Amino acid sequence: MPQVPRLVVSDPGQKSIYHVISRTALDGLPFKKVEKDELVRVIMRFSAIYFVKVFGYAIMGNHFHLLVEVSPGTLLSDEEVRERFRLLYGDDAEFPEGRLDEYRERFCNLSAYVKDIKQTFSRFYNKRKKRKGTLWGERFKSVIVERGNTVINCLAYIDLNAVRAGIVKRPEDYRWCSVGYHVQAGNRDGFLSMDFGLWEFGRQASLMGLNQYWEFLYHVGVLEKKGRAAISKKGLEGESAEGFELNRVRRFRYRTRYFTDSGIIGSRAFVETTFEAFKDRFQVRRGKTPKAVRGVEGMYSLKRLVEG
């Protein structure tokens, strides 16, 4: 099967959001508590070095999810490039001024960011397990995500991974995901962005955004999926304020697969515009038409590049 081209927005003035998924090549569930803790630590370290904003994450037994916004190098000052270089190599490292543009591009590059995370964790894992060889499977998958309604739906999908896998009954009880970090660690050091895709709150207190996201997460989390666990209705009732409407949870049934199987997801205009920027890399003769995400008004998806 031909390798799927990576979709990375190259507009020098545009911030872009990606859902990143990467799986281990090992059998079973090799990542236990120590490994999950270390992978979170590695992600936090490189998220401070690279010009990214982390919306959410989930570390599972054999894979991880990241929802990140990557900013273009045009927004990174020369001094910020030097500071990130020092964070990477140490305060005593002398910055190579002749390579300023090279490092500016690197610190704004999604592939370089994920590569550093995976390689650093691989060294830890192999040393801990006294092994050699490949840890990760095929290269990571990434989906371009439109800001706004699509972000909060993708974030909920990520935070519900442990619930769907039957590991916990409430998403915040799983400490290796973003909602768990918000609740159990109080978003220590401001690691996670408090922007949950809830544009309507504007500049209001970030706590309101967290509360609104919490409500949304529980509503979609009670939906039972075939073969998957769900948040109990009792749990929802315990966390929800009076007057919450449950009818919207039914719409989430049709969304989840789009957050991993798509190449681009968002409004029809966003999908069409983004496709135009990458159409020369699609292995099809005719144009590709965005398909509506069933049950969600205004959300569309473009299938992965190797599909017709």
Rounded Cα distance between 19 and 95, Å, is 32
Domain boundaries along the sequence of the chain: 13-145, 147-187+195-256
The phi, psi pair for 241, rounded to 5°, reads -80, 160
Rounded Cα distance between 7 and 143, Å, is 8
pTM of the model: 0.77
Q: Which sign does the torsion angle of CA 149, 154, 157, 160 carry?
A: negative
Q: What is the pLDDT along the chain (308 residues), one digit of tens a residue?
A: 445 545 555 555 688 999 999 999 999 999 999 999 999 999 999 999 999 999 999 999 999 999 999 999 999 999 999 999 999 999 999 999 999 999 999 999 999 999 999 999 999 999 999 999 999 998 889 999 988 888 888 999 999 999 989 999 888 889 999 999 988 888 889 999 987 766 544 444 455 577 778 778 877 777 555 556 566 666 555 545 433 333 344 445 445 555 666 677 777 778 877 777 766 665 555 567 777 776 566 777 776 533 32
**What's 174's DSSP letter?**
-
- Note the helical H segments in 130-177: 149-159, 161-164
91: Cβ–Cβ under 8 A, 6 or more apart, which residues?
Answer: none
Rounded Cα distance between 257 and 250, Å, is 15
Residue with tokens 């039972």: 224
Evaluate whether 188 touches 67 at the Cβ level (below 8 Å).
no
Rounded Cα distance between 260 and 197, Å, is 18
- Cα 136 to Cα 19, 34, 173, 253, 259, distances in angstroms: 18, 18, 27, 30, 21
Residue with tokens 């006294």: 130
Three-state secondary structure call for residue 59: strand
User: For domain 13-145, is the CATH number 3.30.70.370?
Assistant: no
The phi, psi pair for 100, rounded to 5°, reads -55, -50
